[in-house]
């Protein structure tokens, strides 16, 4: 690479070029058959928060894109992963994640104490025009699975049918679910030496947490061979290994309650003491990335139930929201807002 030539494209010269290039070299791009280049150049610059010349360098060094100039477009996942591990300190993924993970550095009691959350979810058809006979399905949060409870919920409009943890309704109007829940945590540890060893072996691989299309991460063997994982891939692989060892185990899908309203998956396993325990390897991986999070946080993720996690009845990789119209599955345009009730803070301060 002719660095001098590239530098003329950078105004002003940016000292962190090396860091960006290192990040580009470490990027595991979305496989071409799953890539969706929908993010234009302007939006890409906003996500990465780098000068245009740096973006050109990143493309020269492996960041996939389609088109050129104003037509240039990128896959959102690639931009997110590149930004998150850029070390620039200013990319949108770094800033937002650093903030969203702050709770992990709080006192251990705060990971477990009862918390009240208000979730407001609107789902709309992702097609230009919603087809005939629209059906909407939303996985109902089930905080009871972790010791919490639903305070109130409301799903409109129309008659709601509830089946196997799924709320279903029909009609052309996009539904809105408003639900208030109390979540509760409980500190537990795995007692089975075999389970502990399986989890430790998984964690020691130091997989890099990334965002990828779900279809990619439903093939954990491929993703993990590339050194990357997300909650779905990690849960599926651990479920397989733990089941093979003879334990009763399942994956579960839900939410991490916080400003980024992140879909999440983990496993639940019946330990040698007969107690079902939550094992959340990806939350533990994220804990390693969270500034100030103690090592104890990672330990807590491997057996405990945390009050930041809201379970549903679904398994890893199953969609939390679904929509059908015109006789086929349609993409869902989902907006979720999660708010913490003020009393959560009051409880923390009273400790």
Partner 1 sequence: MSVNENPRPETAGSVRARVCELVAELAPDRKVAVQPSDRLSEDLGLDSIRLIELAVGLEEQFTLPHIDDERAMAATSVADLIEMVEALSCEDGHPA
The site for partner 1 (CB under 8 A) is made up of 92, 95-96, 99-100, 102-103, 106, 115, 258-261, 337-342, 344-345
Q: Which is nearer to partner 1, 96 or 240 (CB)?
A: 96
Q: Which is nearer to partner 1, 97 or 247 (CB)?
A: 97
Q: Which is nearer to partner 1, 13 or 260 (CB)?
A: 260
Q: Which is nearer to partner 1, 109 or 259 (CB)?
A: 259
Question: What is the DSSP code (8-state) at residue 145?
Answer: G
Task: Please report how close the Cβ of residue 348 comes to partner 1 at its closest, in angstroms.
Answer: 8
Task: Please report how close the Cβ of residue 65 comes to partner 1 at its closest, in angstroms.
Answer: 22
Q: Which is nearer to partner 1, 43 or 276 (CB)?
A: 43
CA distance 65 to 41: 9
Token duo for residue 291: 């500034």
Cβ neighbourhood burial of 196 (10 Å; 0-12, 13-18, 19+): middle
Q: What is the CA radius of gyration of the chain?
A: 22
Task: Please report how close the Cβ of residue 131 comes to partner 1 at its closest, in angstroms.
Answer: 27
Cβ neighbourhood burial of 88 (10 Å; 0-12, 13-18, 19+): buried
Q: Which is nearer to partner 1, 244 or 259 (CB)?
A: 259
CA distance 273 to 145: 19
Counted residue by residue, the chain has a size of 351
Q: Which is nearer to partner 1, 73 or 95 (CB)?
A: 95
Task: Please report how close the Cβ of residue 198 comes to partner 1 at its closest, in angstroms.
Answer: 32
CA distance 91 to 48: 5
Buried b (16+ CB within 10 A) or exposed e, 215-250: ebbeebeebbebebbbbbbbbbbbbebbeeeebebe
Question: What is the DSSP code (8-state) at residue 115?
Answer: E
Classify 97 as helix, strand or coil: helix
Residue 234 near residue 207, CB atoms below 8 Å: yes
């Amino acid at each position: 690479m002719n660095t001098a030539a590239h530098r003329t494209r950078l105004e002003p010269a940016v000292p962190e070029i090396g860091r960006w290039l290192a990040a580009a070299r470490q990027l595991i791009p979305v496989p071409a058959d799953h890539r969706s280049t929908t993010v234009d150049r302007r939006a890409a610059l906003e996500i990465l928060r780098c000068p245009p010349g740096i973006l050109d360098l990143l493309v020269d060094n492996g960041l996939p894109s389609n088109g050129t100039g104003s037509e240039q477009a990128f896959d959102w996942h690639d931009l997110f992963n590149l930004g998150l591990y850029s070390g620039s300190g200013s990319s949108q993924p770094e800033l937002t994640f650093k903030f969203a993970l702050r709770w992990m550095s709080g006192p251990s009691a705060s990971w477990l104490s009862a918390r009240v959350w208000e979730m407001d979810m609107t789902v709309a058809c992702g097609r230009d025009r919603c087809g005939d006979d629209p059906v909407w399905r939303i996985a109902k949060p089930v905080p009871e699975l972790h010791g919490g409870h639903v305070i109130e919920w409301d799903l409109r409009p129309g008659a709601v049918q509830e089946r196997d943890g799924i709320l279903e309704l029909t009609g052309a109007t996009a539904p809105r679910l408003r639900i208030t829940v109390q979540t509760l945590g409980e500190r537990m540890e795995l007692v089975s030496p075999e389970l502990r060893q399986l989890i430790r072996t998984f964690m020691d691989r130091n997989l890099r947490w990334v965002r990828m299309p779900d279809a990619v991460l439903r093939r954990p063997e491929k993703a993990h061979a590339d050194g990357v994982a997300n909650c779905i891939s990690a849960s599926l692989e651990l479920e397989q290994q733990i089941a093979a060892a003879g334990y009763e185990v399942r994956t579960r899908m839900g939410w991490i309650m916080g400003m980024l309203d992140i879909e999440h998956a983990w496993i639940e396993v019946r330990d040698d003491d007969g107690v079902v325990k939550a094992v959340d390897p990806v939350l533990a991986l994220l804990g390693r990335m969270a500034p100030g999070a103690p090592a104890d946080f990672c330990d807590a993720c491997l057996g405990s139930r945390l009050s930041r996690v809201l379970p549903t009845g679904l398994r890893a990789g199953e969609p939390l929201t679904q929509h059908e119209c015109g006789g086929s599955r349609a993409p869902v345009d989902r907006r979720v807002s999660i708010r913490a009730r003020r009393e959560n803070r009051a409880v923390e301060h009273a400790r």
